[in-house]
């Protein structure tokens, strides 16, 4: 359904160029949940924003994507108008920042239905009430008249989800959809996302720095580091048999109740080497070649993929 090819996003800073995303390629099929995981600053959100035409204006983007049989070029911003909110739904981390504080939440969910599906305001209101009920935003008939500040964080996130799925998009992009929520609400939102994919044969791109969230929902996982995909595999392969040194350290950094806190993965503070492996400055296994040459992407058995000189 979606195939991204050679996505590259750069920012110019004074006299230098910073590559936030470097030649990233991947695909996701209908009915599939693709997780994107990686430390802060690894390029997850920039990738999501490129797929929805929402990158900041100072970003320079190149590459192409094929979506539902149509080839699109990231440089051309006009292509996303008819897709965003209609065929591609988006859920971001911070509903308070994304919802309009001056409009009732009901109007904000009804809008895409009027705009993209041609429903009358009354029909859109009826559909919004149905969606609110289905997502547990109760009592739906009253909730539609509330403003965002009258709802809890979990309810606001459900409103965002209602707006994202209102037009039954084929592709849902959720960028840290549960990061600001407590574990109970997090579990509810993840279940709702799973149900949507299952019931509509949609594809979900689930972005999170939380490996626990990815483990619960994803079928396939991309691991990002320094704007590149360093490893790809099924959720079982990545969680149980990680190959790439970065993935191993990322997993080893997960807090455990039965062991003292360890932080084996040093934070990325501009340590990315130009021309070599993006992880070289922090990798316990690096060799001379890692600083000189970018590791090639190797395709392994069962659809696995890694980018490391020693694998
Ligand atoms: N407007 C901008 N100008 C310059 N650099 C930017 C800009 N926006 C993002 N970046 C840089 O792009 C890189 C990738 O950012 P991105 O937001 O994709 O990270 P992320 O993986 O989503 O991290 P997090 O888990 O913290 O959300 C970061 O190094 C960030 O500093
Ligand atoms: S290419 Fe080298 S530096 Fe990069 S992860 Fe592999 S061993 Fe480490
Ligand atoms: Mg992000």
Closest atom of ligand 2 relative to the 280 alpha carbon:
3
Higher pLDDT, 179 or 10: 10
For 54-103, how does the pLDDT look when each residue is reduced to its tens digit (9 = 90+)? 899 999 999 999 998 889 888 887 788 778 888 999 998 888 888 999 99
CATH value of 2-87+167-307 in 2.40.50.100, 3.20.20.70, 3.30.450.40, 3.40.50.300: 3.40.50.300
Answer whether 279 contacts ligand 2 (Cβ < 6 A): yes
Give residue 92's pLDDT: 86
- SS3 of the chain: helix, strand, coil, percent, to 5: 35, 25, 40
- Determine the pLDDT at residue 270: 56
Mean pLDDT calculated for residue range 165-170: 95
| 114 CA → ligand 3 middle, Å | 30
pLDDT at 271 over 60: no
Spatial distance between the Cα atoms of 203 and 17, rounded to a whole number of angstroms: 33
Residues with C-beta less than 6 Å from any ligand 1 atom = 11, 18, 20, 38, 40-46, 56, 58, 209
Which ligand has an atom closest to residue 267 CA?
Answer: 1
Which one of the ligands is nearest to 58 CA? Answer: 1
Check whether 160 has a pLDDT greater than 60.
Answer: yes
Q: Average pLDDT, whole number, for the chain?
A: 90
User: Residue 311 CA: which ligand 2 atom is closest?
Assistant: 6
How many helices (H) and strands (E) the chain has is answered by 11, 12
* Ranges 76-90, 201-215, 240-254, 276-290: which has the least confidence: 76-90
Closest ligand to C-alpha of residue 42 is 1
Q: Where are the domains of the chain?
A: 2-87+167-307, 90-166
C-alpha–C-alpha distance, residues 22 and 142, integer Å: 47
Surrounding residues of ion ligand 3, Cβ less than 5 A: 45
Closest ligand 2 atom to 289 CA: 2
Q: Does residue 263 carry a pLDDT above 70? A: no
- Contact between residue 158 and residue 119 where contact means Cβ atoms under 8 Å apart: no
Q: What is the pLDDT of residues 176-212, one digit of tens each?
A: 988 777 888 888 889 989 999 999 999 999 999 888 8
Q: Of 121, 129, 180, 119, which Cα lies nearest the Cα of 154?
A: 180
Residue 22: is its pLDDT beyond 90?
A: yes
User: Does the C-beta of 310 come closer than 6 Å to ligand 2?
Assistant: yes
């Amino acid at each position: 359904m979606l195939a991204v090819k050679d996505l590259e996003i750069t920012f110019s800073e004074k006299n230098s160029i910073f590559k936030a995303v470097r030649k990233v390629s991947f695909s996701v099929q209908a009915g599939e949940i693709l997780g994107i995981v990686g430390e802060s600053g690894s390029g997850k959100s920039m990738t999501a924003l490129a797929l929805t035409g929402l990158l900041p204006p100072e970003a320079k983007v190149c590459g192409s994507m094929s979506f539902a049989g149509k080839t699109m070029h990231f440089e051309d911003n006009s292509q996303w108008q008819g897709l965003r909110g209609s065929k591609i739904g988006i859920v971001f981390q911070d509903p308070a920042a994304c919802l309009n504080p001056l409009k009732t939440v009901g109007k904000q969910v009804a809008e895409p239905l009027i705009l993209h599906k041609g429903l009358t305001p009354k029909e859109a209101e009826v559909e919004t009430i149905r969606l609110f009920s289905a997502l547990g935003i109760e009592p739906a008939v009253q909730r539609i008249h509330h403003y965002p500040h009258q709802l809890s964080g979990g309810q606001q996130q459900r409103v965002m989800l209602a707006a994202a799925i209102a037009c039954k998009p084929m592709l849902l992009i959720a960028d840290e959809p549960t990061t600001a929520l407590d574990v109970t609400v997090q579990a509810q939102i993840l279940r709702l996302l799973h149900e949507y994919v299952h019931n509509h044969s949609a594809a979900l791109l689930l972005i999170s720095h939380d490996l626990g969230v990815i483990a619960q929902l994803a079928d396939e996982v991309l691991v990002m580091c320094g704007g590149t995909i360093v490893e790809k595999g099924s959720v079982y392969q990545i969680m149980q048999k990680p190959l790439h040194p970065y993935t191993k350290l990322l997993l080893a950094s997960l807090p455990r109740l039965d062991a003292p806190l360890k932080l084996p993965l040093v934070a990325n503070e501009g340590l990315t080497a130009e021309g070599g492996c993006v992880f070289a400055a922090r990798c316990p296994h690096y060799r001379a070649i890692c600083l000189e040459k970018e590791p090639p992407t190797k395709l392994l058995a069962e659809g696995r993929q890694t980018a490391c000189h020693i694998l």
